[in-house]
Amino acid sequence: MSFSTPDPWHPLILDDVRGAQKMLAGVARMTAMEGSRHLTQLVGAPVHFKCENLQRTGSFKLRGAYVRIAGLRPEERAAGVVAASAGNHAQGVALASSLLGVRSTVFMPVGAPLPKVAATREYGAEVVLHGTVVDETLAAAEAYARETGAVFIHPFDHPDIIAGQGTVGLEILEQCPEVRTIVVGVGGGGLAAGIAVAVKAVRPDVKVIGVQAAASASYPPSLAAGHPVAIDPAPTMADGIKVGRPGDVPFALIRELVDEVRTVTEDELSSALLLCMERAKLVVEPAGASPVAALLSDPGAFRGPVVAVLSGGNVDPVLLQRILRHGMAAAGRYLSLRLRLPDRPGALAALLRSLSVVDANVLDVSHVRTDPRLGLTEVEVELHLETKGPEHCLEVGVALREEGYQVIS
């Protein structure tokens, strides 16, 4: 199977995805399907995770990249391939090229996380750092392709790519034959389109629901307009699905086959990532956690059994630390307070004793004595607390007021 000459309107069919599955035998893993007791209770029906975060290179991207490069003609392979990516697609192209003996060059933004840059090099690609945003990096890669004759490997807008990603759908049907809803993150749309092609051909009764970060959701306006619409995506922690314009090929398939595209907020994304780590013991990047965010935001909207596709687990440790803090705050597990105390010895110690009684863990304390709003004998104290959830936050506030403390915020 190969569509080496791009034809954006080629009617992708189930046989293409099955052909991709045969091609990927021994290359891509059949990733695990794990149950989630917490989400099962929340949704009221079985919920399973399809763990593409445990795929080789840490995401589903290897599937499509390998199928695309394997389908090149001998003269195209000899010219090498080039790609542009800040992370997952870069690693997928690098490993696929190495496995097939094809030279690869990957352009990455100057600010790309160092672990992703290092991994891409280790998989065998020549990495070129160019531009500060992905659009600049993409333009440089396309210019390189024109100048050298290397084949540009698009991350989502090609039938071979979509056929490769669609093998995730075939595995879901095999591992969870009773599935009734599949929830999957959507960026350019390659994964959702591929899954929909495979699943709808075999089980048209199964709903396929796409999820985008609300800050960079290009599919809702595009679906409303009936054609791909370019947007200016706002910053989002889910950089893996931050795409300003749907691909022509996946858009046509998603418009026809995907039942719905939902959006989720940054708070919902961070809460979902926290849940994956704490409850499922799975490291998932924000884009990969987007289906979980959708389930958390509206659990009654999904007919079960549900499969949530965890599309990737490549998250920079520094970013992960920030996201986890954000997730804990969104879940009511952090509480910030400002109080007025008399400026005398023992006042702070008494406050800390009151907090220990209600089992609040003090993370940070700061004093302000020079604010003109304070009286001569007053001090303002800012506290950052770790709590057990929203109800505990309310309990802490009530307890402090009952002790006579003036809580400002």
Nearest to 176 by CA among 292, 30, 43, 33: 33
Burial class (CB in 10 A: 0-12, 13-18, 19+), 74: exposed
Q: What does the block give as tokens for 65?
A: 């990249």
Alpha-carbon distance of 101 to 109, in angstroms, equals: 25
Nearest to 364 by CA among 386, 345, 379: 386
Out of 36, 50, 61, 85, the active site residue is 61
Alpha-helix runs per DSSP H in 186-316: 190-202, 219-225, 248-257, 266-278, 290-297
For the chain, give the number of residues: 409
Alpha-carbon distance of 348 to 33, in angstroms, equals: 51
Does residue 102 contact residue 69 with C-beta atoms inside 8 Å? yes
Does residue 161 contact residue 223 with C-beta atoms inside 8 Å? no
Active site residue 97: no
Does residue 189 contact residue 104 with C-beta atoms inside 8 Å? no
Alpha-carbon distance of 243 to 84, in angstroms, equals: 13
Active site residue 200: no
Chain-centre distance of CA 98, in angstroms? 26
Alpha-carbon distance of 405 to 174, in angstroms, equals: 60
Does residue 183 contact residue 49 with C-beta atoms inside 8 Å? no
Q: Are strands 126-129 and 207-213 parallel, antiparallel or unpaired?
A: unpaired
Q: What does the block give as tokens for 319?
A: 């970013």
Q: What does the block give as tokens for 22?
A: 């045969």
- Annotated catalytic sites, by residue? 61, 311
